[in-house]
Amino acid sequence: MSEKITVPALGESVSEATVSKWLKSQGEKVSADEPIVELETDKVNVEVPSPINGVLGSIAVGEGETVNVGSLLGTVDKSASKEETIKEANNYNPPKKVNNEVNTKIFAEEKKLKPKNTKTKKIKEPELKLEDEEPLILENIHEEKPIQRKEKQISPAARKMANESKVDLSNIEGSGKNGLILKEDVMNLMGVKPAPSERKIKYGPEERVKMTRLRLTIAKRLKEAQENAAMLTTFNEVDMSEVMSMRSQYKEDFQNKYKVKLGFMSFFVKACVIGLKNYPAINAEIQSEEIIYKNYYNISIAVGTDRGLVVPVLRKTDEMSFADIEKNIGELGQKARDGKITIEDLQGGTFTITNGGIYGSMLSTPILNPPQSAVLGMHNIIERPVVVNGNVEVRPVMYLALSYDHRIIDGKEAVSFLKIVKESLEQPKRLFLNIW
């Protein structure tokens, strides 16, 4: 008896996937609900579990192939578990001895077959001939012998020069007697051009790799954003002194109370919510010939992973505390890095924040995340000279960039939104007191 393994429902608007990796081999034992195969969709990776206990039977689709929802991936054959087999063996009762002619003959035959003693008999000489032995046995015997390598001989002058110049002599063939490495050999090595990179040696001058489904989707959406929106970017800068001071002053108390670190992102989320409430167009989207104003504030947070950029959503951020925001960001970020993010985690965002500053970016023009109409770009914090009350002071400054769809967001609204974000971050106590 066997059970089919099929492609499960993958979420809204997702109808196909790519077989990323088979986690089990054909004939390998599997347990019910144990992941068997990993599928890659446009947005997330999905693990398909085994429907029953048994062994992986047939594999209908190979790695790298595209499948639709409901398609057959393979089968799991039901089989007795190891524990059941042992139980059956323990419960086995041998036939009772009956005093009749048939059983007497059987037992007599069994007795005849049993050896009279258990001592090891000497093997006859012909059976030990080398020509009758398997080559594998000879190879194993040969491999067990350690290979003795001669230690490289290095002259004192060459050793001194190598140590001073930090030159690796392990791959040098000495030109002296019996392979002695001389000072001239080291000098010649120092004049040799660098060897090609390991990647070039391994893959050649170029390597061609098929794009993942996630990367293809990212490329398609970013191109659509440029083609379908009248995109414009405006900039401002923010003095991060007060935010950094508050974090430094209260970070230990905050972590002790809420079991989570106080990061920068919670300040930015709170500041953006204030700006979105004041300028609803930035939290809106275009559908056909209508503008949909959204009176809820689901902030998408861009997270970089090994598989590419994903943008999980923080829902109802206007109803969240600083601690709630930090906890949810941490959980979503970890899920994204572990490849366990779900379709639901990526849907329903109304505005996006991306932080290129964690990679050292000083300034950028972020691209919209359709169908959203605006995205805020954060950057690294650098100490810069700033005029404060007529005096030049060194302050930690961050550049902010707001990219927006000019079809529904005017320049005045974009600039005013950034100004509110700037003022909120430069007076962060007002965020905590919620007095904006």
How many residues in total does the chain contain? 436
The answer to whether the beta carbons of residues 266 and 320 sit under 8 Å apart is: no
Provide the CATH number for the domain around residue 41.
Answer: 2.40.50.100
- 0.85 cut: is pTM over it? no
Backbone angles phi, psi at 273, to 5 degrees: -60, -40
Domain's final residue, options 62, 82, 102: 82
User: Is position 126 within any domain?
Assistant: no
- pLDDT tens string 220-239: 888 888 888 899 999 999 99
Q: In angstroms, what is the C-alpha Rg of the chain?
A: 35
Number of domains, the chain: 2
- How many angstroms separate the CA atoms of 177 and 398, rounded? 64
User: Is position 172 within any domain?
Assistant: no
User: Is position 299 within any domain?
Assistant: yes
What residues contact residue 86 under an 8 Å CB cut-off, 6+ apart? none
User: Is position 389 within any domain?
Assistant: yes
The answer to whether the beta carbons of residues 309 and 356 sit under 8 Å apart is: no
Domain's final residue, options 65, 82, 99: 82
- How many angstroms separate the CA atoms of 379 and 395, rounded? 15
The answer to whether the beta carbons of residues 231 and 377 sit under 8 Å apart is: no
- pLDDT tens string 64-110: 888 888 888 889 888 644 455 445 445 555 555 445 554 555 555 55
- In the chain, the percentage of residues whose pLDDT exceeds 70 is 81
- How many angstroms separate the CA atoms of 239 and 234, rounded? 17
Other CB atoms within a 10 A radius of the CB of residue 176 amount to 15
User: Is position 114 within any domain?
Assistant: no
Give residue 43's domain range: 2-82
Question: Which of 348, 403, 408 shows the shortest CA–CA distance to 376?
Answer: 403
pLDDT band at 174 (very low <50, low <70, confident <90, very high): confident
Q: Phi-psi bin for 93: left (phi > 0), alpha (psi -120 to 50), beta?
A: beta
Cis amide prior to 371 (ω within 30 degrees):
yes
Judge residue 411's burial from the number of C-beta atoms within 10 Å of its C-beta, 0-12 exposed, 13-18 middle, 19 or more buried: exposed
Q: Which residue did the predictor score with more confidence, 88 or 359?
A: 359
Residues forming the active site: 406, 410
User: Is position 318 within any domain?
Assistant: yes
- DSSP line for 203-256: H-S----PPPHHHHHHHHHHHHHHHHS-EEEEEEEEE-HHHHHHHHHHHHHHHH
- pLDDT tens string 39-66: 888 767 788 888 888 888 888 888 888 8
DSSP 110: H
- How many angstroms separate the CA atoms of 58 and 116, rounded? 49
User: Is position 96 within any domain?
Assistant: no
Provide the CATH number for the domain around residue 389.
Answer: 3.30.559.10
Q: Up-side HSE of residue 366: CA atoms within 13 Å toward CB?
A: 30
